[in-house]
Structure 1
Amino acid sequence: MVKLRGHHLICLHFFKGKGYGKDFIDNISKVIEKARQSEIEIVDGTDDVCGAYPYNRDGFCTYSGNADQEVRRLDELAVKLLNVRNTVGWNHLKCRIPEIIEVWKEEACRDCDWNKTCFIE
């Protein structure tokens, strides 16, 4: 079973393999492949993606001064918008994302450093 935090339930669907280092890209690719084939356990905090994230320090996001607080806000928003708890399947998420994407873009993507990477063709 793959462990994912809230915002990764949405953001991984837009992953293009750009904007990150090779090790992190390889890890995300493996996590996505596994998520497509098994149930996803929704976790609070560090997940299977964060383990290889270069700004993960002892379970906290250190990308910027308030990054951990912001990531946790996005996790809560994602879980609320998707209306999921505990476990979920990749295909269920894939079906739900079009229904919530406009709110997600406004609330989460607007100030995200990777928003242009996610929505390029």
Structure 2
Amino acid sequence: MYMLRGHHLFCLLGYRGMGYSQEYVENMTYLHHTLRNNPKTRIQLVKGPDQLCEKYPNSGEYHCQNDNIYERDAAVLEKLGLTIGQTLTWSDIESLIQKSIVPSDIQVVCESCSWRSYGVCEEGVQEILDGKRLREVK
């Protein structure tokens, strides 16, 4: 089981192998592969830093505790109808995304995210809406 904060559910949709450091990318890629290959993997929703934040590099600002990140977590969970402490499978999360999210939601929910300008999260949402799984990342 993985412990994930709210906004990382959306980050996984847009993940294309880019990240803050090599260690962060390796960790994110491993999780992404796990969820892609085994959508029955269980996720517990947590408040604050999670298993992806653990590998955030210690150089620069540690944004994982910033208020705007907590607000983004809450907004994602609200859109999906989820709460902190809930445990569900990745396939359950994908089903909720199909029922509750449209690509343009990324522009609002993730407005302050530095990765938003790449457009990959909107693509990831659309792929889930089209019935595809997480995109393969090498």
TM-score category (smaller protein): 0.7 to 0.9
Which secondary structure state, in structure 2, belongs to the residue aligned with residue 41 of structure 1?
strand
Q: Matched residues in 2 for 1:49 and 1:2: separation?
A: 10
Cα drift, residue 2 of structure 1: 0.3
Q: Do residues 47 (structure 1) and 45 (structure 2) align?
A: no
The RMSD of aligned alpha carbons is 2.8
Q: Which structure shows the bigger proportion of residues in strand conformation?
A: 1
TM-score (structure 1 length as normaliser): 0.78
Q: Do residues 94 (structure 1) and 105 (structure 2) align?
A: no
Give CA deviations for 1:32-86 in whole Å, capped at 9, x if unaligned: 23443521000111111000011599xxx7349xx61000001111111111231
Q: Matched residues in 1 for 2:96 and 2:16: separation?
A: 20
Cα drift, residue 23 of structure 1: 1.3
Which consecutive residues of structure 1, in runs of 5 or more, have no partner in the other structure? Answer: none
Alignment-derived partner of residue 33 in structure 2: 33
Judged with a 3 Å threshold, the aligned counterparts in structure 2 of structure 1 residues 72 and 94 are, in CA distance, closer, same or farther, namely same
Alignment-derived partner of residue 76 in structure 1: 74
TM-score (structure 2 length as normaliser): 0.69
Cα drift, residue 93 of structure 1: 1.7
Amino-acid identity (%): 26
Alignment-derived partner of residue 119 in structure 1: 120
Which secondary structure state, in structure 2, belongs to the residue aligned with residue 113 of structure 1?
coil
Judged with a 3 Å threshold, the aligned counterparts in structure 2 of structure 1 residues 90 and 16 are, in CA distance, closer, same or farther, namely same
Q: Matched residues in 2 for 1:101 and 1:55: separation?
A: 34
